Structure formats: C-alpha cells, structure tokens
Amino acid sequence: MEGKKNLQVAILIFKGVTALDFVGPYDVLNFLPNVKVVFVSHTAGELYKDVGTFTIQATASFDQVPNPDIVVVPGGMGTDALMGDKTILQWLCKVHETSLYTTSVCSGSLLLGAAGLLNGLEATTHWNLLEFLTNFGAKPVKARVVRQGKIITAAGVSAGIDMALQLVALISDETTAKTVQLSMEYDPQPPFDCGSPEKAGPEIVSKAQLHMQAEMQQFAAELSK
Amino acid sequence: MEGKKNLQVAILIFKGVTALDFVGPYDVLNFLPNVKVVFVSHTAGELYKDVGTFTIQATASFDQVPNPDIVVVPGGMGTDALMGDKTILQWLCKVHETSLYTTSVCSGSLLLGAAGLLNGLEATTHWNLLEFLTNFGAKPVKARVVRQGKIITAAGVSAGIDMALQLVALISDETTAKTVQLSMEYDPQPPFDCGSPEKAGPEIVSKAQLHMQAEMQQFAAELSK
C-alpha cells in the first residue's frame, strides 16, 4: 500500500443523500493511505442533510475539484430534484473525461444517466428504480455491481460497500482489498434472507415500495417549503 | 409500522469515530417512521471529525438527552482517548438505567465496558480488540452480534448493520426488519471471503493489524498536537 500514486476521490453530496450510500465506499476507500477523499457540492463548508437528522459537510465546491481520480455518486431521495441541476451534470461530464473510475451507488446512477454518461451501457441501480435507467439509453442489469470500462454502478444503498471493495482491487491490488475487508470486519450475516425482491417476496416488496413512496412524498413536501 | 410508540435513538459521536460504525445502524433505524435519531456529544451543533475528511454534526448535548430509548455507541480510533471521559461514561451509566436497549459497534463496546455496563456479561467487539473486553470483566465472544438482555454488542465496523436489523425485529417486528433490509438492498456480496481473521488467514491478518496500528499512531499524534 506504500509508495502508490496519490488519488483524489470526489464524493458528490447533496440535500437528501442517503448516508450509507456514500459512507460505505468512503470508509473502504479512506482506508488506503494514498487516497484523499473530498466531499463535493455547490458550496464548500456547507452542511447537507439527508432525510433524517444526519448531516455531512462539503469540503470542496465543484470548481475546486476539476480532476478527481475517482468519482462516487451516491443516491437518495434527493437525486430526483437534481436531474436538471446543470452545475452538477456538467461537472459530472467534465470530471468523467479524466477520471480513472466514475462510480455510483443506488439512484446515483440516474444522475450519471442524466449527465449522458450511460448511453448504450449496461448499468444498475436500486431494484425499485431499474426501469428508469432506460430513460438515459442505459441497459438495466439486475446485479450487485456492473462495470463497463471505467464506469461502475452499484445496486441499492448497501451495495456501495461491495462496489468499493472491487474498486480497491482495481486501483490497488487484491491483497489490499482483502486487508480492507478484514479491517472493517466485512463478514456480513444479515438476520434475514430478503435483500433482493426475488428473495423477499411480493408482500415485503410491496411494503418496501409503499414506504419509499411515502418517504419520497415527505421529502418533496419538505423541499417545496 | 404505523401507530407505534415514538422512540428516541441516541447515537454517541466523538472525534475519531468510524463513520460506517454508526451510519449502518443509523440508516437502518432511521427507516422506522416512529424513530427519531439524535447525535449526542459534548456540544450540540459542533462538528466531529473521523480520521479522514468526514464530519458529523452533534444534534444534542448529553444533558439534552437524559432518557433515550435506544443507545448506540459506535467505535473508532477515538474510543481509546475516551476511556477516562467522565461525562461520557456517567451519561452511558445513567441512560442505560432507563434504555430499552443499549448497543455498541466495534470498539464502542469498550466504552460500555469502561462505564461498567459489561461486568460479568458476554460481549463482542472488533476481532483485533476482543481480549481487551476482559479488562472490564466481560467475557469476549467471537460473534457477529451478542445479546445479553438489553445490551447488544456487535463486531467490527460493518457488523452494526446486522446488529441494527436484529434490533428492528426486537423493537418492531420481523416483517418490518425484512422491509428495511430489502429497502436498503442488503443482499451483501463481498468480492472476497476474508471478513474474519479465520477466513482471511495470517498474512492478511498481519497486514490489517499493521495498518490499524499505524492509523492509531497517526490519530494519537494528531490528538496530542
């Protein structure tokens, strides 16, 4: 892990981001001594809230991060409101030109799509949003992580951890990725076997959809205040 | 999920907390409409940094949270420096008297131990710290999650997600816990099978220990500045 080229990882943050979407990849990538993470948004120093009481501080504005090596776009209830945010979309297009890897978690891939980066490519997102990828010319794939050249998209929320570990193996090596996985004791033992719609069955799928719909409406109401 | 008693979840935060330790449980618990999470520390409104560039804002001070229903104590490089922090240890003792559940992730259990809450009990923590639990009269157990009455301790970093899903089943019901698991698409597919010392083998264990030692020294040097 020593003597490697320094890498700047830019994590996009915004109002309504889901914390785990980016904290999973953050803690994985931050493990590497040659990685420096910047949390990028419109205003450096500003606090951005999720749909609860969690806040994350932007450490840089878009113009301060013109050439990140790795871009991570998390998802959350807030992505929908950003589909027309030209500053964000233009920044994504620009940084993708020179990035080593451009990645997303959950609905973050819809932002990559809106920026025109997924046209003709396979991609994934949260299971409940897969169909929307076609709006951007992407081919939806039900998979935990989808890699197409330097674009890597991950499924919903917790999938960012799996994606980031694969990314560490790419930018460093397998031994380092394994060392990270052990250090964060990532030996998952979910109490139930229902992490995908197929495993969970229609009753739980329906409950989850209703909940996410209610949360989205609540967030939209809050935004319009 | 409707009509349930409102529950206050207090997550302890501090300088040097590991982000994923508490964001896992946070995103799981925050899913419940009847849960309100407060991030508690010495000073409400203050930003607390991890060992990288991540910050979390305290939403309440200790005296503002005298009776949380659930207490979550995350770990991180910062816990070692808190072993003699009387305000924190006394707050933990006090809130444990009335809590429904008092929980920890990673080295957070050592703080529960220092507060005298683990005496004679089985408990777990990060695999690299298990032996230290005996300092507090606890019996170390190699397990993902250990429950002893209303005290629940989880293994390292990522284990907080598994712990919190079990907790949701306890404070709500299994269907709700499954709904949360599906909503966050927690269908883990780690790229390697090395999340525990036994699976990873001695070479990776040794690398992980060296890395954590270096990080600890770096954090201690930063604290003493």
**pTM of the model as a whole:** 0.97
What does the pLDDT profile of chain A (225 residues) look like in tens digits? 445 789 999 999 999 999 999 999 999 999 999 999 999 999 999 999 999 999 999 999 999 999 999 999 999 999 999 999 999 999 999 999 999 999 999 999 999 999 999 999 999 999 999 999 999 999 999 999 999 999 999 999 999 999 999 999 999 999 999 999 999 999 999 999 999 999 999 999 999 999 999 999 989 988 887
- Cα separation, A90 vs A107, in Å, equals 18
Q: Determine which of B178, B212, B216 to mutate to test the interface with A (most A C-beta atoms within 10 Å).
A: B178
Average confidence (pLDDT) over B200-218: 95
Pairing assessment for the beta strands B35-41 and B60-61 based on DSSP bridges:
parallel
Q: What pLDDT sits at residue B1?
A: 46
Closest CA to A38 of A18, A17, A16, A67: A67
Q: Which of B28, B29, B105, B106 is catalytic?
A: B106
Q: For B59-76, write each residue's pLDDT tens digit.
A: 999 999 999 999 999 999
Report the share of chain B in percent with pLDDT over 70: 99
Closest residue of B to A192, CA-based? B178
Predicted ipTM?
0.96
Q: Which of A32, A88, A106, A168 is catalytic?
A: A106
- Cα separation, A180 vs A46, in Å, equals 30
A144: which chain B residues are within 8 Å (Cβ-Cβ)? 187, 189
A203: which chain B residues are within 8 Å (Cβ-Cβ)? 175
Taking the CA of residue A114 and the nearest CA in chain B, the distance in Å comes to 23
Cβ contact A41:B58 at 8 Å = no
B183: which chain A residues are within 8 Å (Cβ-Cβ)? 156-157, 208, 211-212
Clarify whether B106 is annotated catalytic.
yes
CB spacing of A165 vs B192 below 8 angstroms: yes
CB spacing of A174 vs B183 below 8 angstroms: no
CB spacing of A200 vs B182 below 8 angstroms: yes
Residue with the two structure tokens 């990849």: A25
Q: For B89-140, write each residue's pLDDT tens digit.
A: 999 999 999 999 999 999 999 999 999 999 999 999 999 999 999 999 999 9
Q: For B138-153, write each residue's pLDDT tens digit.
A: 999 999 999 999 999 9
β-partners of residue A39 are: A11
Average confidence (pLDDT) over B1-22: 90
Q: What pLDDT sits at residue A1?
A: 46
CB spacing of A158 vs B185 below 8 angstroms: yes
Cβ contact A195:B169 at 8 Å = no
Radius of gyration (C-alpha) of chain B in whole angstroms: 17
Which residues fall within 8 angstroms of residue B214, CB to CB, at 6 or more apart?
A33
Closest residue of B to A218, CA-based? B33
User: First CA to last CA across chain B, in angstroms?
Assistant: 48
Mean of the per-residue pLDDT values for chain B? 96
Cβ contact A70:A100 at 8 Å = yes
Closest residue of A to B175, CA-based? A204
In which band, very low, low, confident or very high, does the pLDDT at B3 lie, cut at 50, 70 and 90?
low
Closest residue of A to B76, CA-based? A184
- Cα separation, A188 vs B158, in Å, equals 7
Query: What single-letter amino acid sits at A89?
Result: L
